[in-house]
Amino acid sequence: MAKAIISEADNLAATLLSSSTSTSKSSSKIVAPSLLADASTRLERALRYVSISDDAISRLRYPKASLSVSIPVRMDDGSLRIFQGYRVRYDDTRGPGKGGVRYHPNVTLDEVQSLAFWMTFKCALLNLPFGGAKGGVTVNPKELSQAELERLSRGYVDAIADFIGPDVDIPAPDVYTNSTIMGWMMDQYSIIKRQLTRGVVTGKPLTLGGSRGRETATAMGAFYIIQTILPKFNQIPEQTTVAMQGFGNAGSTLADLLAKAGYKVVAVSDSQGGIYAPQGLDIPSIREYKNSRRSVKAVYCKDSVCNIVEHQVITNEQLLTLDVDVLIPAALENQITIANASDVKAKYIFEVANGPITSAADDILSDKGIHVFPDILVNAGGVTVSYFEWVQNRNGWYWTLEEINQRLKEKMEAETQQTWSIAQELGVSIRTAAYIHALNRLGEALDAKGTRDYYINPM
C-alpha cells in the first residue's frame, strides 16, 4: 500500500505541475510552476503518511469547477470598463464550497485555484462541513469610487449567481473586500433569487445577518494558536519580539492582541513600507494613524495621540529578515522564497497570509531550524467564524461575542493540539502534519462515496 501511496502522490504532483506550466513560443522557455503546482508539493509529502484510496487522490487532482466571467461596469465618467472575475470550487465532498473573494490587480485564475485548493484542506483541518472555494476580480479597488465599487460587486454576483448559493458555494471577504461589499453581494443575490438569502455569503454587516466577531476572527484565531504553541518552546510573551508584515484588518488586529498580551511588537509594515523600533512600537497609535491616513510608511504616529519614540523606516523585504523571535507574514503569497529564505532570522513563523512561503523556501527554513506554522491552520479563524455565521443565518439565532470567541478558541486550540501530536508522533513538520490531518478527513469523506475496492468487492 505504501508504494501505491507514494506513486499516486508523485502522479498528483506531476499532474498539477504539468497542467500549470506552459511554453513560450517566442522564447521556448518553460514558465515557472504555478502557485497550484507549488502547493501540491506540500500535499505530496503528506500523502506518504496516510492510507487514502487511489480514487480519493484522483478526485483531488483537479478543481471540481472553475468559472471565468467578464464584468461590465459603467464608470462615473460614463465610460464602460470590463473586469475579469473568477470563482473556483475545488472540492465539495464535505459540504458546500467556502472561500473569500479578493479584489486585487494581480488576481489570476491560477491564484484563485490555489487559494481554493488551500481552502479545501483548511476546512477539513478545522473539521468544518465545507469544501474549498475561492473567488476574485482583477482590479485595483483603490482606483474606484464607492459607487463604482458597488456596481462592480453587484456585477460580479450577477455573473456568478448560478455558481453560488447557501448550499452550493458561500463567498466571504478576502483581500480588499469587507463587510460592506459582502452586504452588497448578499443583497444582489437576494434580488436575483427574489427572496432574502442571508446565508449566501458570510462576513456581512451585523444588520444584514452578520456574526459578531467576524471582523476580528482571523486575528483571534491566529492569536489563540500562538498562545497555544509558544509555551511548548518555553517562549515567554514579555521576552518575545514580533515582526508583522501586513497591517490590514488581520495584521493590525493581531499586532494589537499580541501587544496587549505582553509581546514586544518591534516592526510592522503595509504595502507602502514599514517601521521598526527595537524597543517596541505603540500599536494602538499606529492603528489610529493607519486608519486615518491609510499608511504606516515614514510616520510613526501623531503627537496628539501617542508618545514619539525613535524608529526607522524599513522596506517589506527588510522586515522579513529582522532578527526577531516571531515573524508573521500577513500580506500576500510568495513573500519568502528561495531568494531570501536564507536571510530569515526569526525562530518561529506564523503564516497569517495565504501561501506566503514557497515550498522551496520551506526546505531552507527547516534546515535553519526555523519552525513554520502553516496558513491552513493559523489563518483558519476567519472561515471558522464564517461557519458560525452560516449556522446562525440558518437557525435565526445569533450568539454573543463572548460565545463566538469561546467557540473559536476551543476549535483552534483543539485542532492545533491534534496537529502538534501528529507532528511529534511522525517526526514531520507542522505543515505536513496539518495536511495529514486534513487528508485523513478528506479521504474518509471521498471514500464514503464509493471506491474501486467497493465495486470489486461489493457488500
pLDDT grade for 147, boundaries at 50, 70 and 90: very high
Q: For the chain, what is the total number of helices (H) and then of strands (E)?
A: 16, 12
**CB-based burial of residue 183 (10 Å sphere; 0-12 exposed, 13-18 middle, 19+ buried)?**
buried
Radius of gyration for the alpha carbons in the chain, expressed in angstroms and rounded: 22
Contact predicate 104/136, CB 8 Å? yes
Cell of 74: 459603467
Q: What is the pLDDT of residue 34?
A: 64
pLDDT grade for 50, boundaries at 50, 70 and 90: confident
**Mean of the per-residue pLDDT values of the chain:** 87
pLDDT tens for each residue of 224-253: 999 999 999 999 999 999 999 999 889 999
Does position 79 have pLDDT exceeding 60, yes or no?
yes
Q: What is the pLDDT of residue 453?
A: 67
Q: What is the pLDDT of residue 344?
A: 97
pLDDT tens for each residue of 292-349: 665 544 333 443 323 334 568 888 899 999 999 999 999 888 899 999 999 999 999 9
Compute CA 99 distance to the chain's CA centroid, rounded to the nearest angstrom. 9
Give the least confident one: 20-24, 57-61, 132-136, 245-249. Answer: 20-24
pLDDT grade for 459, boundaries at 50, 70 and 90: low
Long-range contacts made by residues 391-397, C-beta under 8 angstroms, separation at least 24? Answer: 392/209, 392/211, 393/166, 393/198, 393/199, 393/209, 394/166, 394/199
- Tabulate helix, strand, coil % of the chain (nearest 5): 50, 15, 35
pLDDT grade for 202, boundaries at 50, 70 and 90: very high
Report how far residue 90's alpha carbon sits from residue 83's, in angstroms, rounded to the nearest whole number: 23
Report how far residue 266's alpha carbon sits from residue 364's, in angstroms, rounded to the nearest whole number: 25
pLDDT tens for each residue of 168-195: 999 999 989 999 999 999 999 999 999 9
Report how far residue 450's alpha carbon sits from residue 433's, in angstroms, rounded to the nearest whole number: 26
- Report the candidate in 125, 57, 59, 43 with the shortest Cα–Cα distance to residue 92: 59
Ranges of beta strands (E only) in 78-222 are: 80-91, 97-104, 131-138, 169-173
pLDDT tens for each residue of 317-326: 999 999 999 9
> Percent of the chain beyond pLDDT 90?
69
pLDDT tens for each residue of 206-224: 999 999 999 999 999 999 9
Contact predicate 396/424, CB 8 Å? no
Q: How many CB atoms lie within 10 A of CB 319?
A: 25
> Percent of the chain beyond pLDDT 70?
85
- Report the candidate in 93, 91, 1 with the shortest Cα–Cα distance to residue 448: 93
Q: What is the pLDDT of residue 21?
A: 38
Write down the catalytic residue from 134, 204, 264, 411: 134
Q: What is the pLDDT of residue 310?
A: 56
**CB-based burial of residue 458 (10 Å sphere; 0-12 exposed, 13-18 middle, 19+ buried)?**
exposed
Residue 47 or residue 422, greater confidence: 422
pTM: 0.84
Report how far residue 419's alpha carbon sits from residue 86's, in angstroms, rounded to the nearest whole number: 32
Does position 73 have pLDDT exceeding 90, yes or no?
yes
Compute CA 190 distance to the chain's CA centroid, rounded to the nearest angstrom. 27
Question: How many angstroms separate the first and last alpha carbons of the chain?
Answer: 22
Report how far residue 266's alpha carbon sits from residue 276's, in angstroms, rounded to the nearest whole number: 6
Q: What is the pLDDT of residue 285?
A: 83
Does position 6 have pLDDT exceeding 70, yes or no?
no
H or E element, residue 216: none
pLDDT grade for 289, boundaries at 50, 70 and 90: confident
Contact predicate 373/351, CB 8 Å? yes
- Report the candidate in 269, 415, 369 with the shortest Cα–Cα distance to residue 328: 269
Contact predicate 42/435, CB 8 Å? yes
Q: What is the pLDDT of residue 120?
A: 94
Q: What is the pLDDT of residue 2?
A: 35
- Report the candidate in 415, 447, 358, 439 with the shortest Cα–Cα distance to residue 121: 439
Does position 27 have pLDDT exceeding 80, yes or no?
no
Fill in the amino acid letter for 338: I
Q: What is the pLDDT of residue 449?
A: 78
Concatenating the DSSP letter of every residue in 244-304 gives: EE--SHHHHHHHHHHHHTT-EEEEEEETTEEEE-TT---HHHHHHHHHHHS--TT----TT
Which residues neighbour 90 within 8 Å (Cβ) at sequence distance 6 or greater? 63, 64, 97, 113, 116, 117, 119, 120, 131, 132, 133, 134
Question: Across residues 410-423, what is the average pLDDT?
Answer: 97
Report how far residue 15's alpha carbon sits from residue 191's, in angstroms, rounded to the nearest whole number: 41
H or E element, residue 397: none
pLDDT tens for each residue of 86-118: 999 999 999 999 999 999 999 999 999 989 998
Does position 425 have pLDDT exceeding 60, yes or no?
yes
**Residue 134 bears catalytic tag:** yes
pLDDT grade for 59, boundaries at 50, 70 and 90: confident
Coil, helix or strand at residue 65: strand
pLDDT grade for 24, boundaries at 50, 70 and 90: very low
Does position 454 have pLDDT exceeding 80, yes or no?
no
Give the least confident one: 40-54, 127-141, 191-205. Answer: 40-54
Domains of the chain: 2-59 (no CATH), 65-198 (3.40.50.10860), 217-378 (3.40.50.720)
Dihedral sign for Cα 410, 415, 420, 422, please: positive
